[in-house]
A and B are shown apart, each in its own frame.
Chain A
């Protein structure tokens, strides 16, 4: 008998229920009102009074309304057929919903039970298997998906039978497994998993080391992220956070891209809906949308579902990682999620922590970032979730709880800066404050040295040092005046400007400049460093300024031109000529 409850009180989306039986923390129940069933989650239990957060509007809800508990936590339904779908934070398929407006109490099934999939068995009768072992494969949008043994399965089972290669629906049984005691499990292609529990179905989680190319120079070159790495982007509004995030999700070398639009603008989600189907995947030549899933909980959608949306996205990512795929997960923005927690904590009249956020905000954030990572599965295959979250610090002040707690757990930090944005130096990633801890990993050093074929990290450090030196000199010039410093200082300053303009600044809206493959990044870095190492003859600082502006202009035109095209070669020749004019060593 399922536990039942009766509504006893309502404040916005928090409802108290009087229950007649056992309930679990985070259990899901449905409250009935005016013909609608409102999905809710248990967040606190006091005696037979249960506090639930309702994932919908509670308008018109009355004391005495009945509720029914489901016996399980908030969970997602996993299986082939999720790619290129648009879900809300509770994994409802948004395209299946009728009407222009979201109707309260309308829930749609995330998968398609009728579609046929071409199944090929990977396991044989007699194989010993554990939870999430690969039993077979199907292909979805050219991605090889695995059909796995149930995630919840305990202990070792033997494959008793397995379906032959052929066409099956996800609800058809494709295998029968049996354990020592003779218990049989029938397996189809559908899995369920509670979103708030991390999937730990892997052997080990080694340190990640493989560069994840994004085509954004100030990331790949200066502060690289790796497969299975974590990063975060804080940024005051208007600094190009969203543009940068879209660029990464479009260009990153990943098998699956999952975007969680969490409490953000609806038009930004629409931009993804509109642009992604048009975008050609730079790595495969197919549509980017084919390997993308969007979880959309825009800022005006119910706040409790906003909290759920990031967990839903992470669980989907873990599902694909269990198949040995490389997943890129982006959440924009984790601050909205933290705010959802704050609203609820406030309604429950909990004692507030810093800035009225709940006291356990730091462990919540740490646990969430901890779910990402590079793993070795039980069968020895690798899989990864690279996670990049954004935070939206109140007032652009980085000393606020969400940013500070994220900084403790994320390994890369891309500091978007108002000043750079004001000066239209995009992407506005501050090269000095940002960091990637992966640059210090010997594993990464070894990998990148092999890939680039030469000393790379040294060059990156030189670029960073020169940028810092340039900034110091700019400050001195501001204090002492152009004439107050030696001409040499101007040269050093302009060399750092060259790095800024040519390596860091990148036009996300230009067809060519938007994406720079690693090979081209290497060539740009080599050219810039070469110029930095050259010595030039100048008499006055005015000559320095004029000359470097010309150099920068030519390098920029090269960045805008197709790599090694006629145009590119033409600008390159012009640049060589210009450099030869003044070069002394």
Chain B
């Protein structure tokens, strides 16, 4: 960062915590950026002439006489077509050895879209994974996270989804991502020959935690450029939002704010909503879809981060290892796509909603039968059939290695219905049974 000649330099810091510095300064705007001892910082509190700065890289080694220069602007990103195919750090500086991007400078974390200027999402995003397309269909303009324990293969599923989805740009925002996972994404993208569609903003576990706070806004500012200016379909991948929330907690803690549930700041809901609500479908065809990851601790979804996330996002996807078939599946009980009814049976075949619900109901019956087995009770003939159905259903549809189109998924499901059940056991409208029940 270069400083301009007329900028005032302060050299007297009055207070230093692990994440913040305070000093006396005047004429400073809220949210403004500053450079302290060569490190970027942002104004988070002004009280009279005392200004508190959040230092993104941490305050290790900052002396009280460090040089502080205010830059007179909020964090920003230069946007243009040149962003495509590039890899950046949390500040939007290239880390791929390429030249700096030229373009219009836009402040990140900009205003919200006027709700009356949005359009209702209505375009299916096909992923080939039946656990998603059949039971929890994704729609462009949607925001949905994977709720997953750290050991689950969410990054792989996310990469698969990104590669199969028909989008113009894929923007990867990595927060506290391991370097190995970062390289994995890079590999998948380059093997698929998709590099020119990728833009990446990366904060790995090796980078300072507070820097992560910039990642989602950087990624979404780039996304808004392509969606609004270029009318492109943009898919934004954010992994992992729990690391982002942890960084929020660190800063609020250093500012002596009273924590609410699970040591998270009281504003967690608004902070997360500001990011996720950037997902949008514009009437002009441009859209931003957000697929995120929220890592759980021991599957606990009542923790403040997944809990608040669940209230903001349009559903959530759960992965689970199914011991029956030894594969990871998309859990049909706990996963949900709230926008699925906008496309199910409308952009897909008409029997989709009923078939989906019937299959999940039968799968639930199988879970009951399994409880009976565990309790040592005899199984009825129906119980046996649901168990056999559940195994096939898991293997042929729910497993994450499935790659079918939606019509095939429906046909496979009807096939399984016919294999194990009588029409009156599936509780589907008679007219649909008439049309789709496989004739022997």
A and B together in one complex: yes
The interface residues of chain A lying within 8 Å CB-to-CB of B265 are 346
Tell me if B277 and A481 are in contact (CB < 8 A).
Answer: no
Tell me if B258 and A352 are in contact (CB < 8 A).
Answer: yes
Known: A9-B46, A237-B310. 12 other contacts (CB 8 A): A60-B31, A62-B28, A63-B48, A263-B269, A269-B115, A346-B265, A395-B307, A397-B302, A422-B364, A483-B377, A542-B380, A552-B427
Closest B residue to A303 using CB positions:
B270
The interface residues of chain A lying within 8 Å CB-to-CB of B334 are 422
Q: Mark A39-69, 1 if CB is under 8 A from B, else 0.
A: 0000000000000000001111111100000
Instruction: Give Cα distance in the complex from A397 to B261, angstroms.
Output: 13
Tell me if B424 and A550 are in contact (CB < 8 A).
Answer: yes
Please tell me if B62 contacts chain A, counting CB pairs below 8 Å: no
Tell me if A343 and B361 are in contact (CB < 8 A).
Answer: no
Please tell me if B267 contacts chain A, counting CB pairs below 8 Å: yes
Please tell me if B266 contacts chain A, counting CB pairs below 8 Å: yes
Tell me if A342 and B357 are in contact (CB < 8 A).
Answer: no
The interface residues of chain B lying within 8 Å CB-to-CB of A273 are 115-116, 118, 120
Tell me if A86 and B424 are in contact (CB < 8 A).
Answer: no
Closest A residue to B264 using CB positions:
A356
The interface residues of chain A lying within 8 Å CB-to-CB of B150 are none
Tell me if B341 and A509 are in contact (CB < 8 A).
Answer: yes
Tell me if A101 and B112 are in contact (CB < 8 A).
Answer: yes
Please tell me if A478 contacts chain B, counting CB pairs below 8 Å: yes
Among B168-176, B312-320, B384-392, which stretch is in contact with chain A? B312-320
A185 CB to nearest B CB, Å? 37
The residues in B between 354 and 396 inclusive whose CB is less than 8 angstroms from any CB of A are 357, 360-361, 364, 371-372, 375, 377-378, 380-382
B343 CB to nearest A CB, Å? 13
Tell me if B375 and A356 are in contact (CB < 8 A).
Answer: no
Please tell me if B154 contacts chain A, counting CB pairs below 8 Å: no
The interface residues of chain A lying within 8 Å CB-to-CB of B279 are 267
The interface residues of chain B lying within 8 Å CB-to-CB of A122 are none
The interface residues of chain B lying within 8 Å CB-to-CB of A101 are 110-114
Among A92-100, A209-217, A431-439, A440-448, which stretch is in contact with chain B? A92-100
Tell me if A346 and B257 are in contact (CB < 8 A).
Answer: yes
Tell me if A549 and B425 are in contact (CB < 8 A).
Answer: yes
Please tell me if B117 contacts chain A, counting CB pairs below 8 Å: yes
Please tell me if B27 contacts chain A, counting CB pairs below 8 Å: yes
Q: Mark B35-53, 1 if CB is under 8 A from A, else 0.
A: 0000000001111110000
Please tell me if A102 contacts chain B, counting CB pairs below 8 Å: yes
The interface residues of chain A lying within 8 Å CB-to-CB of B315 are 238
Instruction: Give Cα distance in the complex from A343 to B271, angstroms.
Output: 11
The interface residues of chain B lying within 8 Å CB-to-CB of A394 are 261, 302, 304, 307-308
Closest B residue to A423 using CB positions:
B364
The interface residues of chain A lying within 8 Å CB-to-CB of B250 are none
Tell me if A267 and B141 are in contact (CB < 8 A).
Answer: yes
Tell me if B277 and A266 are in contact (CB < 8 A).
Answer: yes
The interface residues of chain B lying within 8 Å CB-to-CB of A347 are 257
Please tell me if A364 contacts chain B, counting CB pairs below 8 Å: no
Q: Which 10 A-B pairs have the closest CB atoms?
A: A395-B302, A299-B273, A300-B277, A356-B260, A481-B377, A60-B29, A237-B310, A9-B47, A274-B120, A59-B31
Please tell me if B5 contacts chain A, counting CB pairs below 8 Å: no
Q: Mark A517-537, 1 if CB is under 8 A from B, else 0.
A: 000000000000000000000
The residues in A between 240 and 275 inclusive whose CB is less than 8 angstroms from any CB of B are 242, 263, 265-267, 269-271, 273-274
Instruction: Give Cα distance in the complex from A485 to B120, angstroms.
Output: 52
Tell me if B120 and A424 are in contact (CB < 8 A).
Answer: no
A-B contact pairs, 23 of them (CB 8 A): A9-B46, A58-B31, A62-B28, A62-B46, A63-B49, A94-B114, A95-B116, A101-B112, A102-B113, A104-B111, A238-B315, A263-B273, A267-B141, A273-B118, A274-B119, A339-B269, A343-B266, A356-B260, A394-B261, A396-B302, A424-B364, A545-B382, A556-B427
Tell me the A residues contacting B by CB distance below 8 Å.
8-12, 16, 57-64, 86, 94-95, 97, 99-104, 236-238, 242, 263, 265-267, 269-271, 273-274, 296, 298-301, 303, 336, 339-340, 342-343, 346-347, 349, 352, 355-356, 392, 394-397, 422-424, 478-479, 481-483, 509, 542, 545, 549-550, 552-553, 556-557, 560
Instruction: Give Cα distance in the complex from A299 to B308, angstroms.
Output: 11
The interface residues of chain B lying within 8 Å CB-to-CB of A296 are 115
B25 CB to nearest A CB, Å? 10
The interface residues of chain B lying within 8 Å CB-to-CB of A16 are 47
Instruction: Give Cα distance in the complex from A101 to B371, angstroms.
Output: 53
Please tell me if B77 contacts chain A, counting CB pairs below 8 Å: no
Please tell me if B187 contacts chain A, counting CB pairs below 8 Å: no
Instruction: Give Cα distance in the complex from A298 to B141, angstroms.
Output: 16
Tell me if B280 and A266 are in contact (CB < 8 A).
Answer: yes
Instruction: Give Cα distance in the complex from A174 to B120, angstroms.
Output: 42
Instruction: Give Cα distance in the complex from A237 to B427, angstroms.
Output: 26
Given contacts A57-B111, A102-B111, A422-B333, contact A299 B270 (CB under 8 A): yes
Tell me if B44 and A11 are in contact (CB < 8 A).
Answer: yes
Tell me if B274 and A266 are in contact (CB < 8 A).
Answer: no
Closest A residue to B122 using CB positions:
A274
Which among A60, A102, A267 is the interface contact of B30 at CB below 8 angstroms? A60
Instruction: Give Cα distance in the complex from A67 to B45, angstroms.
Output: 19
Interface centre among B27, B308, B378, B430, by most chain A C-beta atoms within 10 angstroms, is B430
The interface residues of chain A lying within 8 Å CB-to-CB of B267 are 12, 303, 343, 346
The interface residues of chain A lying within 8 Å CB-to-CB of B119 are 270, 274
Which among B30, B278, B282 is the interface contact of A59 at CB below 8 angstroms? B30
Instruction: Give Cα distance in the complex from A509 to B345, angstroms.
Output: 11
Please tell me if B409 contacts chain A, counting CB pairs below 8 Å: no
Instruction: Give Cα distance in the complex from A553 to B429, angstroms.
Output: 9
The interface residues of chain B lying within 8 Å CB-to-CB of A550 are 424
Instruction: Give Cα distance in the complex from A9 to B22, angstroms.
Output: 14
Interface centre among B142, B303, B333, by most chain A C-beta atoms within 10 angstroms, is B333
The interface residues of chain A lying within 8 Å CB-to-CB of B27 are 62-64
Instruction: Give Cα distance in the complex from A10 to B339, angstroms.
Output: 39
Please tell me if B101 contacts chain A, counting CB pairs below 8 Å: no
Instruction: Give Cα distance in the complex from A356 to B371, angstroms.
Output: 41
Instruction: Give Cα distance in the complex from A102 to B116, angstroms.
Output: 10
Closest B residue to A238 using CB positions:
B336
Instruction: Give Cα distance in the complex from A532 to B162, angstroms.
Output: 53
The interface residues of chain A lying within 8 Å CB-to-CB of B311 are 237, 392
